[in-house]
Structure 1
């Protein structure tokens, strides 16, 4: 074979393949040295078949010597080549020692990865030439996923002794006790306490509630708090970026939202001071807003990836999951389920916390106790399944608007938490500035009171 013919062959090493197979047939104890080697890693088909047969014999606790492998392959049938026995013996005899078995296995896997990369590149080129209705963004995302998949296959996760894992875990306990926690504080101490310090990377946190209960206000308040130390990206499909910015200004400047969104008198010095203070506060935060309507999961993923690459990213807020588009399936419940699965995948892929808002159905309003429960999540039970944390926002004053003692009282009901306890967080909601703080004293009674004549605060 000349140099030109060799140059056209895919990456491979027949010598390394012989080295692995021969070592396993002569010294079966070498299985612990070949790592994550699989039949598909071998270049030659006959080598793939030989390795697969060796593995089958080893799994049954049987001998993997040349004669045993030959007998097993002949019994399986399909091997008409009368030289199989001679070839197996030749492979075994070509390996004088098992010392290099691990190195040979690494070479076989390495060449297989290079071949897979070539194959993937060919597929990407083919799709780019004939996208079959896919947009360029979809082709690019698919290409990135394919290449990333190849990289993930190189990561080998081996079992570890519990004492080794506990050593790291105890270090984490010590760090948390010293205030060095990896959790991202929500800026609301009462909520952090219930969430074991706050939000964490790779978590999907669902914030759900009926309309005007304050789920958007709560998520935005948390996002603004977080953005003082971390990077936050909010996808707002319900409100424009101007509206979100107005709420942020009211929140940080402690000036009434009605004034910010309306007209401030030139003589209203406190309000103008609040606007100036809010602008100064917001100039230092890393809080970005994307108000693309009906964003698809693909668009969200691509934008989040690009934002993290350029600016860093710790938390994504999605307002709200029911307004996303392009989900899988014909039924709305299937589509919503695909969004929640996709958002959880994005959280893990990018190493960020994702706060996704969701609507609750009307069932809670038909019950005597208006407090929502998990089954009230609209359209899909998969949201509950995919979420790491589910927070249900409830403001009793929305059902009893004239009861004075309920003014501003908000319950954040933790109804799912994979690594923590369930419970209720009692907060005070200041509607005019869209801010949340701890509720002072005992929770109010839900009993009816005589009307006070006051109006309700803001929600959303």
Structure 2
């Protein structure tokens, strides 16, 4: 995208909004007013009117605005497709909006300065009024400048103190496993959390269980969870949930007993309680995932985002990173943390695989160096948890048990959490068998 061409930048923003209205949820885009767009103010005004009326901005919706007051005369119905000739990745739109605002501020400031200069050159003009007018114009422009995020460390200490004195009141979204909640304090807003394991260790199973725990909720109530199922199909996810709720173990070479079948049928209605709180999506591109998160968060606030898994996400990484898988994964993680976790204020759980090095180790217990092709994940993640099932390597070693190894916890201790595990019942749990 050419950041030196305001005309192209405006079209890139308009094109992306018409392709995906989630772009309007970006604060920098929402802040753009029609007068800020020098070349397409009438089109932008129509888009904002459509959105304000609860509509979805599209070429079809714009067609009804052609010819109205304020609409550019050089754009007819046949010309509307040209508005989508340019588009930009969602992550680049905030910067594009700032460039457009910068150009608007510069033009307005030069105009105000020119008016003041002409007034001061006129001996009969009211110089004080001219200076006051210029001052008012420039003060207005200061309000459009990028927000100054600098503040004193002494400002507003109360909330930080309250979190220390009453930590239970600030627990995040529950994991559904008490010992894990005790270590992490739940999934905290704005954090990137890595869940990693070797293939077939139970990673996807646990990701689904975490989404279910969030949707079921705890004493604080349910949290709206959006899960990207890049590893398994939604149908597979549904089968696992049914078995987990009914307590039925699945063997692919036998049909369930009559009693098991009835228990499974009885749980079908229980799915209705998940309808508003558990969403699934099979989008696999980085921009598509971000767009889906913003769109759903605009409909109703999200409480948790889960992505299973990192290696299945496709992304247009910068050229300097594109040939290095480690850097690509790091780029994906950084972008998800910035554009989803931080911008929306929701916790993100990202599943990742471990390298084969852990298999060669005598005790097979993973550590942070085993994050596969993704050393940058360690520095970007707020928490890192590994799944370790001894019976994965030796069927006679502690069968039916697993450990959740918390190896990084930015705001707390690291600890091993012992749990029961059944791959046939699709469940990790801590209560008695």
Q: TM-score range by the shorter chain?
A: 0.5 to 0.7
User: Per-residue deviation at 1:278?
Assistant: 2.6
Do 1:341 and 1:386's aligned partners in 2 also have CA atoms closer than 8 Å?
A: yes
Which position in structure 2 is the counterpart of 1:354?
348
Q: Give the conservation status (yes or no) of the 8 Å contact 2:191–2:342.
A: yes
Which residue of 27, 36, 46 maps to 1:117?
36
Q: 2:210, 2:162 → 1: CA distance? A: 28
Question: Is residue 2:281 matched to residue 1:290?
Answer: yes
Partner of residue 423, structure 1: 415
Deviation at 1:238, TM superposition (A): 1.3
Give the direction of change, closer, same or farther, for the CA distance of 1:114–1:299 in structure 2 (3 Å limit).
closer
What do residues 388-424 of structure 1 show as CA deviations (whole Å, max 9, x unaligned)? Answer: 1111111111111133xx1121111111111111111
Indicate how the Cα distance of structure 1 residues 172 and 429 shifts in structure 2: closer, same or farther if over 3 A, else same. Answer: same
Find the counterpart in structure 1 of residue 209 from structure 2. Answer: 221
1:300-319 to structure 2, matched below 5 A, reads 300-319=289-308
| Pair 183,131 (structure 1): closer, same or farther in 2 beyond 3 Å | same
Q: Is the 8 A contact 2:228 2:282 kept in 1?
A: yes
Shift of residue 304 of structure 1? 1.1
**TM-score, structure 2 length as denominator?**
0.65
Give how far 1:317 is off: 0.8
| Superposed CA RMSD | 3.3
Asked if the contact 1:117–1:147 (Cα under 8 Å) also holds between the matched residues in 2, the reply is no
Offset of residue 213 of structure 1: 1.2
* 1:344 has 2:333 as partner: no
User: Which residue in 1 is equivalent to 2:244?
Assistant: 251
1:85-104 equivalent positions in 2, closer than 5 A: none
Aligned to 1:426, the other structure's residue is in SS state strand
Question: 2:267, 2:285 → 1: CA distance?
Answer: 32
Structure 2 residue runs of 5 or longer lacking an equivalent are 1-31, 45-80, 102-142, 217-221
Task: Find 1:235's aligned residue among 219, 228, 231.
Answer: 228
Residue 195 of structure 2 aligns to a residue whose secondary structure is strand
Distance in 1 (CA, whole Å) between partners of 2:272 and 2:250 is 19
Bigger Cα Rg: 1
CA distance in 2, matches of 1:314, 1:152: 31
Q: Are positions 1:395 and 2:389 aligned together?
A: yes
Tell me the TM-score normalized by structure 1. Answer: 0.61
Q: CA deviation at 1:314?
A: 1.2
Deviation at 1:220, TM superposition (A): 1.4
The change in CA–CA distance for 1:375 and 1:139 in structure 2 (over 3 A counts) is closer
Q: 1:194 aligns with which of 183, 208, 217?
A: 183
Deviation at 1:334, TM superposition (A): 2.4
| Structure 1 partner of 2:170 | 181
How far residue 155 of structure 1 moved from its aligned partner, in angstroms, is 3.4
Q: Which residue of 2 aligns with 1:375?
A: 369
2:39, 2:376 → 1: CA distance? Answer: 33
- Does structure 1 conserve the Cα–Cα contact (< 8 Å) formed by 2:419 and 2:428? yes
Secondary structure (helix, strand or coil) at the match of 1:180 reads helix
Q: How many angstroms does 1:273 deviate by? A: 3.3
Q: Report how many residues are paired.
A: 314
Stretches of structure 1 lacking an aligned partner (at least 5 in a row): 1-112, 442-460
